[in-house]
Amino acid sequence: MKLTLHEIGRIVSAKNDYSQYEDTCISAIEFDSRKIKTGDLFLPLKGARDGHDFIEIAFENGAIATFSERPIEKPHLLVEDCLAAFQALAQYYIEKTGVDVIAVTGSNGKTTTKDMLHDILTTTYQTYKTQGNYNNEIGLPYTVLHMPDETEKLVLEMGQDHLGDIKLLSEIAKPAMAIVTLVGEAHLEFFGNREKIAEGKLQIAEGMPDNGLLLVPNDPIIEPYLPTKQEILTFGENGDLFLTDLVEEKQSLTFRTNFLESDVRLPVPGKYNAINAMVASYVAMRSGVKEADILAALAKLNLTRNRTEWKTAQNGAEILSDVYNANPTAMRLILETFSAIAKNPSGRKIVVLADMKELGPTSAQLHAQMKESISEKIDLIYLYGPEMKALAIAMAGDTRVRYYADYSEFEALKQQLLDEVQPADQVLLKGSNSMNLGQLVAALTEE
């Protein structure tokens, strides 16, 4: 990190006389006192516990100074709001380093697209990306202030739980290019409808320069919220960017785009991944990456685990695990992909669908609508959780359905799957992370 204590004090407008402390170079800024090392600056945030309670521990672990919202005897920078100071510092650091920021948001696909874009850009530039799920008002500035000194391209993921979240992150990061992967139903409980979600996602343009490039899905719902000062390109069916000749296989896919000369091959399934790769490829191309490097990077992708992953059951059955999160759009997409993959000879297609959380008052309707996405190619359907009752009712009379209503029936569901799944079967598991479908995957695969 190329920052000194006095420089940080100036940027955050510290109210105390920090010039009395040595103007030392800061090694890193940490908000977890357990991660503090010699030479670090501590950031006491207020959460379940007040970080100020851990200032002494931070100094014991090697901190040379701390932010603080009240005067203390230790070396400190006195500020009104530690988080706001942290965010202002990240904004300044982006300007100081001149790093080229590319932002990615969306109801689905933002982490995958971020990973793809990072891998492609790394062929040509020193590139850093959001680590894990550090995509909020704390995680984004943390990512900025922890990027390696030599970073040329910074790929930042931006998440939203409430309207205005993306606006804040964009104004901190000031991305030159940005991607909205999809406007789905994630967090409907907080937003109420897709229109509000679209409004929130399009606020990614708030911090962009007037000549910035914004890529958005070709979806009418976003049109009222499109900015007027940036270059806008749409992608998807009838969009400015589109794919053709898509071939889906169990663990890979190939396709063509209207801007690359050669076929694109990915070592992951799903049409949605083809769209994410297409968008990442275009941004990389506009960033100066050669087509050969784009294709080579995509061919050897290493995506974040627990998104969409094929595993092998202890008896040889094929397990498609997509248990990290769930909303109606994501569930429809994975059901579409699962149905498109050829069955094994003598094998069946089995789906295990669990509750989708944070859908608000329309939850029952959105769960019931999943009926339209379950094709005749599916042989057996397990539904789990109280929210899935709506889908069980919608599919009443369908002999393929087995419904486990209550959380207390989880063990019974696990045992039924262990008894039911045969070596030639293909099994899809999809649900919100809190539904613990990962435990079913582990039971089937003996992980």
Is residue 19 annotated as involved in ligand binding?
A: no
The residue ranges of DSSP E strands in 187-324, in sequence order, are 213-217, 231-235, 243-248, 253-257, 264-266, 309-312, 318-322
Distance between CA atoms of residues 78 and 15, nearest Å: 5
DSSP string, 15-32: SS-GGGS--PBP--EESS
- For the chain, count helices (H), then strands (E): 15, 19
Please report, for residues 2, 153, 285, the alpha-carbon distance to residue 150 in angstroms, rounded to integers and kept in the order given: 11, 9, 21
Residues with Cβ < 8 Å from 271, sequence gap 6 or more?
A: 246, 248, 253, 333, 336, 337, 340
The one-character DSSP state at 106 is: -
Longest CA–CA span in the chain (Å) reads: 78
Is residue 108 annotated as involved in ligand binding?
A: yes
Buried b or exposed e, range 67-90, using 16+ CB within 10 angstroms: bbbeeeeebbbbbeebbebbbbbb
Distance between CA atoms of residues 201 and 218, nearest Å: 14
Please report, for residues 69, 83, 150, the alpha-carbon distance to residue 78 in angstroms, rounded to integers and kept in the order given: 6, 12, 30
C-beta of residue 179 within 8 angstroms of C-beta of residue 277? no
Helix (H) or strand (E) holding 394: helix 389-394
Is residue 414 annotated as involved in ligand binding?
A: no
Is residue 252 annotated as involved in ligand binding?
A: no
Q: How many CA within 13 A on the CB side of residue 364? A: 6
Q: Which residues pair with 248 in a beta bridge?
A: 253
What amino acid occupies position 380?
A: L
Distance between CA atoms of residues 323 and 240, nearest Å: 32
Distance between CA atoms of residues 55 and 32, nearest Å: 10
Is residue 212 annotated as involved in ligand binding?
A: no
Is residue 306 annotated as involved in ligand binding?
A: no
Closest alpha carbon to 277 in 261, 253, 311 = 253
The residue ranges of DSSP E strands in 126-269, in sequence order, are 127-129, 153-157, 177-180, 213-217, 231-235, 243-248, 253-257, 264-266
Count of residues in the chain: 447
Binding-site residue positions for ATP:
106-112
Binding-site residue positions:
106-112
